[in-house]
Every structure is written in C-alpha cells, then in structure tokens.
Amino acid sequence: MVEKKMLFTPGPVMTSEALKAVLLQPDIPHRQPVFEQYVRRIRASLLLLSGADEGYTAVVVSGSGTAANETALSSIVRRGEEVLLLSNGEFGERLRGILEVYGYPLHVLDFGWAQPYDLEGVRRALAEHAGIGWVCMVYHETSTGMRNALDGVVRAVAEAGRRLFVDAVSAIGGEPLNVGRDRIDVCTGVPNKAVAGLPGVSFVIARRSSVPPLGADLPRRNVYLNLQKHIEWADRAEQTPNTPSVQMFVALDAALQELQAETLDGRMRRHRECALIVRQGLERLGLRLLLAPDFRSNTVTAAFLPPAVRVEAFIEAMEARGYVLYPGKGPLLEQNVFQVATMGWIQPEDCRSLLGVIETTLREMGGLTGGGKGS
C-alpha cells in the first residue's frame, strides 16, 4: 500500500474515501446499458454544473485536460478562420501549443505571467482583425493562481460577435461559471481538480450551434480527439467512439454526485475558506503572496519563499513530512515561488495542519527568524 500523503497540488487532488470505494465493484463492459446510464447521468450533471441550457451538450473524453482542449480546438475552427489567444501563464501557453500545431492563423495577446488581461487590448484586437472567429482563454490560470477576467472577455467577445473558448480545467467546481447566461460557446474541464475526482478523463461542454458540422469548411483534422464524433456517439447512444476509460467514468459520476450533494456554492465556499486560511497563515509567517487580492482564485495560492530557502529543497522537506506542494512553474521557479492548491477533498483543519508543518520546516531551514505564527 502506498503511504498516504496530503496533496496540496492543483491536480491530481485528494478524493473522498467514498469515491475510492465506488471503484470496488464488478467490471463493467462499455457497450452495454450499465455504462450508458453512467454517461447519461454524467452529461446531465455536467450541464447542470456549468449552468448550460438546452442549447448545450457535454461529452466525456478519455484522456487528461489537454485531451479535452485538443478535442475542442481541433474541431471548432473553420478553414481560414483566425484565432485570438489570451495568454498570461503556463496554461495559456499550452493552448498556444495546440493552436500552433493545428496551423490556425493565430493572434496572441501575451500579457506576461501573472499579469491581468488588458480588456481594451482585447477589444482593439477584435476590432482590427475581422477574420478572428474564436477567442481562447484560460479562466483560472493554474500556474499563477489568477482568476482571469471572464466577465470582461465575455462582454468584449459578444459585442464583437465572435465565439469564445474557455479552458475551465481548474475552474470548474472552484469558480463561478454559467455558460448559458454568458453564452460561452465551448469550455473544457476535468474531474481531478476542483471537482475532486480522479484523473484520466476530461470533458467538453459546447453550445451545439457553435460546433460546425464537418465538411469542406471544416475538415476532420484528427482521428481520436474529434468533437463532432464524440457528440455523435453520445447523442446516438450515450456512448464513446472508442474504448473509454470505463472506471474513470464511474469515478467522474461519483465525484459529480458528491459535488451536487455539497452544492456548487458550498464547494466554492469551502475552497475559498481553505484558501483564506492558507493565505492569512502564510502572510502571518511573513511570506509575500504573488497576486493582489482581486486577482486570486478560490483555490490556488502562489507565494515567495524567503531568500534563505530554495524552493526545490523546501518542496523536498515538505514531502518528507507527508505534504506534497508544487514549485512555481516557468519564470516563477527562478523567483523562488511555491504553490499551495486547496482544491479537492481538503478541509479547513487540513489547511491549519499544513501551516504548522510549513512553519516548522521553514524554521528548520533558516527561513524564519521572527516569532511569526502561521496557524
């Protein structure tokens, strides 16, 4: 048996014992009603969770969040249509990677890591380039913990009459999302972050009228990760085009049921409470947080370590005590930033324990000199 560690990571996250127990049941064949019932219920739950109306559909893709992003982005951009990408961190750059591989005419507004969107700049780009059909953004930029200005982008895109793709991979279950009210055309998510499920599947929620049919205007650009094919199989028979990751569908269903029982508001409240405990505790220890309060998500906190403690050594020391944290990505690593993700099956008391361990670890490593108290 693997030793239990406390995961304060932005995915995979900790899950409930009940969710893990759900997997201990007889094997399930996928071309049978027993599996189709799971698919039906998952799709309905996803539509409910995202605030979708009857104009939307949801499909599950076997593969991690990148699979959902690639399924969507490979399948919605018409031939010759231009794409505007808003990027301010690692996962904006990952979207760029997909968009470049598919060869779309691409405009990128790169605001810089941890810098907020310039909405005037977005409006200007849309006004200057009539050929832009899709705007792509990351709602919660997990690499910095920044909640990007979804409302502002929604307004700018609607005013300009374009379509919006939102990577909501680490936002769903953590941040407010209402695709129907906001007329978000396509968004993606995963179970293994704020939904508190297991990794291995991901999902796409799409406004049907925004997914063009395949044809001369929209060539089929891939085989496995094709959105039209996933929608066709789901609509026809609550099925998937290929052998799905059956057990992960079962776990996704269980995670969505747990989320519905807690309610989305309740889940977001718990995430916010946990993040607040961590933020206040780190500041009490004298650590500086990366983002100003207005930009902080409900789930990820990025903070600078004291110069005396290198982030890699700190992460290692924390792990030895049973707590898994991630170092900052990209330029944040050089700036000695670490991340605490309070998403998934995490309770306020877990956050208080974490702060105690951070304090002891920093003291031992010579990073705390005063008498600050974290918890």
Ligand X SMILES: Cc1ncc(COP(=O)(O)O)c(C=O)c1O
Considering only residues 213 to 252 of the shown chain, the ones binding ligand X according to CB under 6 A are: none
Instruction: Give the integer Cα–Cα distance in Å for 156 and 133.
Output: 13
Say whether residue 91 binds ligand X (CB under 6 A).
Answer: yes
Shortest separation between residue 214's beta carbon and ligand X, angstroms: 25
8 A C-beta contact, residue 368 and residue 286? yes
Residues 6+ apart with CB under 8 A from 293: none
Say whether residue 179 binds ligand X (CB under 6 A).
Answer: no
- Tell me 56's DSSP state: E
Shortest separation between residue 203's beta carbon and ligand X, angstroms: 12
Which residue, 94 or 296, has its beta carbon nearer to ligand X?
94
Say whether residue 66 binds ligand X (CB under 6 A).
Answer: yes
What sign does the dihedral 77-81-87-93 (CA atoms) show? positive
Angle formed at CA 224 by CA 222 and CA 228, multiple of 5 degrees: 75
Say whether residue 64 binds ligand X (CB under 6 A).
Answer: yes
Say whether residue 326 binds ligand X (CB under 6 A).
Answer: no
Residue with tokens 């808003």: 86
Query: Burial, 10: exposed, middle or buried (Cβ in 10 Å; 0-12, 13-18, 19+)?
Result: buried
Instruction: Give the integer Cα–Cα distance in Å for 172 and 253.
Output: 15
Query: Burial, 288: exposed, middle or buried (Cβ in 10 Å; 0-12, 13-18, 19+)?
Result: exposed
With CB under 6 A as the contact rule, which of the stretches 54-62, 125-133, 164-172, 363-371 interacts with ligand X?
164-172
Shortest separation between residue 170's beta carbon and ligand X, angstroms: 4
Say whether residue 50 binds ligand X (CB under 6 A).
Answer: no
Which residue, 65 or 244, has its beta carbon nearer to ligand X?
65
19: part of which helix (H) or strand (E)? helix 17-22
Binding track, positions 93-112, relative to ligand X; x by CB under 6 A: -x------------------
Say whether residue 11 binds ligand X (CB under 6 A).
Answer: yes
With CB under 6 A as the contact rule, which of the stretches 100-108, 167-175, 230-238, 283-291 interacts with ligand X?
167-175
Q: How many CA atoms lie within 13 A of 246 on its CB side?
A: 16
Shortest separation between residue 157's beta carbon and ligand X, angstroms: 19
Which residue, 9 or 361, has its beta carbon nearer to ligand X?
9
Shortest separation between residue 168's beta carbon and ligand X, angstroms: 8
Shortest separation between residue 248's beta carbon and ligand X, angstroms: 12
Contact residues for ligand X, defined by CB under 6 A: 10-11, 64-66, 91, 94, 138, 142, 167, 169-170, 190
